[in-house]
Amino acid sequence: MYLSDLKIGQKAIVLQASISLPVKLYEMGCMPGEEIELNYAAPFSGPMCFLVQGTLISMRKELAQLVPITEPNVKSLTNG
C-alpha cells in the first residue's frame, strides 16, 4: 500500500521504499517507522496533506503514490 491509498483520517506507518525517494521527504520528518495520517486532500487529484512527526506536510499525489506504508489502522477512523 502507498500513502496515496489512505483515506482522510486514516493512519499508517511509513515503510522503507525500494526506490530512492526525494531526501527532502526524510529531512522534513516523513521517514520509515513514523506514524502518518492523511489530514486532507485537494480536489481533482491535487496535493495531499499528511500529519507526520507533529508537522503537516503536503505533497503531490504522484509522490504519495511512491511512499510505501503498512495497512492503515482503521480504528483511528472511528476514534477520531
Partner 1 sequence: MVDKKALRVALVGRPNTGKSSLFNRLTGLSQKVGNYPGVTMEKRTGLIKLAPGVLAEIIDLPGIYSLHPSSPDEQVVMDSFLNENVDEKIDVVIGLADGTNLKTCLFVFTQIIDLGIPAVLAVTMSDEMERKGMELDVLGLSESLGVPITLVNGRLGHGIKELQDNILTASVSQNIPFFQPGGLHLEWINKVSEDKNFDIPYKSWLFGLRGSEYEELISSTGKTIARARADEAIKRYRRVNEWLREFFVTHPGKDRRWTARLDRWAVNPFWGSIILLILMFLLFQALFFGSEAPMNFIDDQFAQLSNILKSNLPNGFLSHLITNGIIPGIAGVLIFIPQIAILFGLISLLEESGYMSRVVFIMDRFMRPFGLSGKSVVPMVSGTACAIPAIMSTRNMENSREKWLSIAVAPLITCAARLPVYALLISLVIPDQTFFGLSLRGLVLFSLYMIGFFAALLGSAALNKIMPEAQSNPFLLEMPSYRFPQLRNVGHAIINRTKSFVTEAGKIILAISVVLWFFASFGPGKTPDFTQDYEAIPIEDSYVGKMGKAIEPVMKPLGFDWKVSIAVLSSFVAREVFVGTMATLYSVDDNEKSSIREQMAKQKDPETGEPYFNLAVGVSLLLFYAFAMQCMSTYAVVARETRSHKFAAIQFLILGILAYGASFLSYSILA
- In the three-class reduction of DSSP (H, G, I as helix; E, B as strand; rest coil), residue 31 is classed as coil
d(CA 31, CA 26): 5
Name the residue nearer to partner 1 (CB basis): 58 or 73: 58
Among 46, 70, 71, 74, binds partner 1 (CB under 8 A): 46
Q: Which lies closer to partner 1 via its Cβ, residue 12 or residue 59? A: 59
Assigned C-alpha cell, 2: 502507498
**Residue closer to partner 1, measured from CB, 15 or 31:** 31
Distance of alpha carbon 39 from alpha carbon 25, whole angstroms: 17
Site residues, partner 1 (CB under 8 A): 20-29, 31-32, 39-40, 42-47, 49, 51, 53-60, 63
